[in-house]
Amino acid sequence: MKRVLNVIRHDIVSITRDSVMVNIVVMLLVLAVAAATLRHMGLYPEWWHNTQLLLLLCYMPGMGYLFAMLIVDEMDSGVNQALLVSPASAMAVLCARVALPTAFVLIYAFAFIYSAQAIDLPFHHWLLPVLTLSMSVAWVTLLVPAISRDKVKALGLFKILNLYTAIATVGLFIPQDAWYRPVLWLTPASWSLNGIEAFIASQEAAGYAWSFGGLLFFGALVAHAAWLYLRRQAQ
């Protein structure tokens, strides 16, 4: 356990040394404070709903990317080989690298939800959809180093994965009965947003169905990414 914590501490130093993490966290705080301020001042009420969901969804893959880049960097420089012949368990380190950013986005999500209070739902209605969205962190953390050969490809791949997740927000701006709306169901993030919308509309069964379906969908993507990652490590 101590070894894994040492690796994670080293990771955090590495991320903050590039100022990337600091910039992202500051940006997240500024956005959350701005949204909460508008809400509590009663300004632009027609935007509260969409702002809440947009801000909830769009930052999550980025947190995964920070840790994915650490792994890509280690592969690029060969340090991963040195770690493999150290007593630190590679699997435990990987789990910690997935768990840490996931925990961060979950804490941030609920802090944001309860500080902004833009959408009034009980905790048990938020839980499944937010858990589903947070799985994008694990997906990005595993899939980027599983496929990318270098940092440039990693950045390109991340932009695609981020778009795949964030495109669900298009659903907030198109009519509910648009014939092309089901195309958005190809991303599990849409299932999560549909779950939240169903809970808002007091359709509890539909809310759980969408949310649970999204969780399974993202779970399958994470499992596939983990399989690709482990296969690459074995090579």
Partner 1 sequence: MAVAKIADDIISVTDLNYRYAGQARPAVAGVNFAVRRGEVFGLLGPSGAGKSTTQKVLTRQQRSFGGQVTIMGKPLGAWGSDYFERIGVGFELPNHYLKFTARENLTFFASLYARPSRPPADMLALVGLEAYLDKKVETFSKGMRMRLNFVRALQHDPELIFLDEPTAGLDPVNAGIVKSLIADLARAGKTIVLTTHNMNDVDQLCDRISFMVDGRFAALDTPDALKSAHGRRIVRVGTPDGTAQDFSLDGLGDNAEFLALLRTGRVDRIHSQEASLDQVFTNVTGHRLDAAEAGAAA
Nearer to partner 1, 23 or 86 (CB): 86
Q: Determine the interface stretch with partner 1 among 9-17, 164-172, 184-192, 218-226 (rule: CB under 8 A).
A: 9-17
d(CA 141, CA 61): 8
Length of the chain: 235
Asked whether position 216 contacts partner 1 by CB under 8 A, the answer is: no
d(CA 51, CA 104): 20
Dig out the tokens for 120 from the structure: 């009034």
Residues 38-77 as b or e (16 or more Cβ within 10 Å = b): bbeeeeeeeebeebbbbbbbbbbbbbbbbbbbbbbbbbbe
Asked whether position 87 contacts partner 1 by CB under 8 A, the answer is: yes
Nearer to partner 1, 40 or 149 (CB): 149
Among 29, 82, 103, 178, binds partner 1 (CB under 8 A): 82
Asked whether position 16 contacts partner 1 by CB under 8 A, the answer is: no
CB of 11 to partner 1, least distance (A): 10
Asked whether position 1 contacts partner 1 by CB under 8 A, the answer is: no
Cβ contact 188:218 at 8 Å: yes
Give kind and range of the element (H or E) at residue 197.
helix 188-200
Asked whether position 228 contacts partner 1 by CB under 8 A, the answer is: no
Interface pattern 40-79 for partner 1 (x via CB under 8 A): -------------------------------------xxx
Asked whether position 37 contacts partner 1 by CB under 8 A, the answer is: no
C-alpha distances out from residue 87 to 7, 14, 53, 58, Å: 12, 21, 43, 37
Asked whether position 86 contacts partner 1 by CB under 8 A, the answer is: yes
Cβ contact 98:91 at 8 Å: no
Q: Using the structure block, give the residue that is written with the tokens 């993030």.
A: 189
Dig out the tokens for 37 from the structure: 């301020």
Among 49, 50, 58, 89, binds partner 1 (CB under 8 A): 89
Asked whether position 151 contacts partner 1 by CB under 8 A, the answer is: no
Residues that bind partner 1 (CB under 8 A): 3, 6-7, 10, 14, 17-18, 77-79, 81-89, 234-235
